[in-house]
Chain A
Amino acid sequence: MNPSTFSLEAFLHSEKLGHVIAATILLLLGWFLARTLAGIFERSMQHRLTAHQLLVWRRIIYHGVLIIFLMSALREMGFQLSVLLGAAGILSVAIGFASQTSASNFISGLFLIGEGSIAIGDTIRVGQTEGDVMSIDLLSVKLRTGDNLYVRIPNEQLIKSEVTNFTRLPIRRISINLGVAYEENLAHVRETLLKVAAANPLCLDEPAPQVIMLGFGDSAINLQLQAWVRRENNARVRDQLQDAIKQAFDENGIEIPYPHQVAVSKKTPPVTPAATAPAAPEAATLTEEEESDVREKLLK
């Protein structure tokens, strides 16, 4: 008789086969139960918990049930868990040295989930990347950008760098910078801007919109209109306000000046025609009297 056939036959008739089958059944049962329980939990709690909380709890339930059944299956196969855990400890040290980056991301992922500073569905900015959070996994966070790109950001990067969450708070402030000509009546400009904000029902009544003066620019007085909106209306209101400001300024004759410069050319002593270069058509030649007028105007 072939020894291998003999050993297979012995195995088939031994108790070990029964243990392996029982362990397999336990694993399959555990997998099925974990999936079912996690699914039931998700369906029953989806209206009470946020998407992020649902994800975290679903994973805890799924992996918790699976680990319990895995331990039972190993015990059924005759493994001693204390020995296995010891081996796992040694193994984890070895793996830790070998894969520091993954371990760092893993630990960062746990901190991210625990900290709760971002959640699924939030719109965040990390470095130059801005998008909606699709999932927060143990190693990375997946974002969907505005132009529908799928971006994976390692958790370690999120922990180390500055993260801006645009949707954490329900209201946001819009700041629109603009410049008006030095000749304009600032009180009238402020009144016009506040009327524009007041006419938009999506601009919050409180906190009240305000106009602040940022400073004196080269060609304009720089102002900023600040208005508060619901976070979901941010882009729409910004667009509407800028459109309305342009229209209101046109109607009220308020000038948004272009950058301009005054070229001053001093009168030079007469030279021979051959040595004279052709003058630039834009540059005007001013007399001393005209030049002093220009200076006075500029100082005003």
Chain B
Amino acid sequence: MSDLQSTPSPWWGHMEFEQGQTRHWSLAGLDLVITRQAREWQVRSQRHPLQREDEHKWSLREGGDMEESPLSFCRYTYRQTHPRFSLMPQLADRSVVVRPLSPLFVPAGQETVFYVSTPVWVTGRVEDTDMPIVDLPVFVPRDTWFGPSTVKGMLGYATKVTGRTSLAQVPVRPFRAVTAVRVRNQGNDNMPIERINIPAPHLPVFAAESGSLWTPTLSITRPANGRQLDVRLESGVWAEAGTVTRLSPARRGSDEHALIRVFDNFFD
């Protein structure tokens, strides 16, 4: 076994598999082994029982031995397999509710930008097909409920964030994507931000030159004369992220109605 790549190279990318070749990714406690055979792709995966959300080490090596039998083993059969394979980060398949570790307020008449990060899924596709043969969270976030009562609301994933307001403080983390949330409070009182519901399935993922992952910016305005928030998904990534490359599309198209439904309860 030999290390083909190590940090700070990205763990994602396009690659070619020889027939019979196996690659083994260890992504922060998630072991993923991909093998190409003449007529099938084989996917083995195993998750460390004590996986931590703040773990960011990864490695890629040739060969596919797992210390234990894999938790999951799937085979995808084709008439003839092609060598091209891509492994990319993608955002969660449900909304992610981020909760600042300490209470955040935007005073009246102020505008600010929070950088919040959400966990990524790893998706693997062969021959540039739309349907992935691998679609796993690097770290399985906890389920959560976002709504005013246990009857009305929506299911999502929970993650805790610091809610940094300076880009310099945002660390480069290979398994979390940063979303810049621009908040304008045009109201007459403080605007509390206890939870933010990030509509992850509607966000594509970009990679910055620094190695960090980004999503398009969310812009929220609280008008002076009402409680209805004006929420927009901006077309581009936050300018200070620098030059970015698009890695994967959003899971769901930017269906306006779906976005409105998501944004109905944007803030708790």
Contacts and interface: CB of A to CB of B under 8 A. Distances in A.
Contact of A201 (B97, B140, B145, B150): B140
B155 A230 contact: yes
A229 interface: yes
A228 B142 contact: no
A203 B143 CA distance: 6
Interface stretch (A28-36, A128-136, A204-212, A259-267): A204-212
B131 interface: no
B151 interface: yes
B143 A230 contact: yes
A204 B151 contact: no
Contact of A205 (B140, B150, B151, B158): B158
Interface in B140-186: 140-146, 150-151, 155, 158
Interface in A148-206: 169-171, 198, 201-206
Contacts of A203: 142-143
B150 A229 contact: no
Given A169-B150, A230-B155, A204 B140 contact: no
A201 B144 CA distance: 9
Determine the interface band of chain A, counting residues with CB < 8 A from chain B: 10 to 19
Nearest to B159: A205
A64 B251 CA distance: 42
Nearest to B140: A201
A205 to B, nearest CB: 3
Contacts of B141: 201
A138 to B, nearest CB: 30
Contact of B143 (A169, A198, A205): A205
A202 B150 contact: no
B256 to A, nearest CB: 18
B158 to A, nearest CB: 3
Nearest to B49: A199
Interface string A221-251: 0000000111001000000000000000000
Contact of A169 (B140, B144, B146, B151): B151
Contacts of B155: 170-171, 230
Contacts of B145: 171, 204, 206-207, 228
A201 B142 CA distance: 4
Interface string B231-257: 000000000000000000000000000
Nearest to B158: A205
A204 B147 CA distance: 13
Nearest to A208: B144
Contact of B144 (A170, A204, A233): A204
A206 B144 contact: yes
Interface string A67-100: 0000000000000000000000000000000000
Nearest to A197: B142
B120 to A, nearest CB: 16
Contacts of A205: 97, 142-144, 158
A267 B145 CA distance: 64
Nearest to B141: A201
B225 to A, nearest CB: 31
A164 B142 CA distance: 28
A215 to B, nearest CB: 26
B140 A171 contact: no
Contacts of B144: 204-206
A201 B140 CA distance: 7
A97 B155 CA distance: 51
Interface of A: 169-171, 198, 201-207, 228-230, 233
Interface of B: 97, 140-146, 150-151, 155, 158
13 contacts: A169-B150, A171-B150, A201-B140, A201-B143, A202-B143, A203-B142, A204-B142, A204-B144, A205-B143, A206-B145, A207-B145, A228-B145, A230-B155
Nearest 7 A/B pairs, CB to CB: A205-B158, A205-B144, A201-B140, A205-B142, A201-B142, A206-B144, A204-B143
Given A171-B145, A171-B155, 16 more contacts: A170-B155, A198-B142, A201-B142, A201-B143, A202-B142, A203-B143, A204-B142, A204-B144, A205-B158, A206-B146, A206-B158, A207-B145, A228-B145, A228-B150, A229-B143, A230-B143
